[in-house]
Amino acid sequence: MQLRDIMTNDVSSVGPTSSVNEAAQIMKNLNVGCVPVCNGNEPVGIITDRDIAIRNVAENGDFNSPVESIMSNNLVYGSPDMSVHEAAELMSKNQIRRLPIVENGNLVGIVALGDLAVQSGSDMEAGDALSTISTPSKPQS
């Protein structure tokens, strides 16, 4: 099965100069944990709820700051023709729960780890990916 068969096609995004608050409002309204950051349709990063919590709130940041100041810009992405198995391996290797889908340089969808888990035949891949992505960390002393 290819990612084009399971990806979410209607993806909201923000621009690099959009505010952290705007990204948070999109996450709240759509009940999602991330929003891709794009220049036009070209993805340049991703902002997650964790980015907001760790890089903004915990640092006494300003919610009016641009998302580019806290986004993850080492974007890992897949293609619509990628198999569910390949996506699970890529997500596991890079310790990510959400995979933007890019075609011809444009954002065309997104796949979350949960999307992989609900597909028949991919339960094992999703489980394997989750086991490496969600490795518990030890508290810092």
126 in Cβ contact with 116 (< 8 Å): yes
Question: Which of the four pLDDT bands, split at 50, 70 and 90, describes residue 130?
Answer: low
In a domain, 139, yes or no: no
Contact indicator for 117, 126 with CB cutoff of 8 Å:
yes
Q: Which tens digit of pLDDT belongs to each residue from 19-65?
A: 999 999 999 999 999 999 999 999 999 999 999 999 999 988 899 99
Query: What's 3's DSSP letter?
Result: G
Whether 140 maps to a domain, the answer reads no
The DSSP-derived string for 15-64 is -TTSBHHHHHHHHHHHT-SEEEEEETTEEEEEEEHHHIIIIIGGGT--TT
Please report whether residue 138 resides in a domain. no
Q: What is the value of pTM for the model shown?
A: 0.82
Domain that holds residue 44: 3-133
**CATH code for position 122:** 3.10.580.10
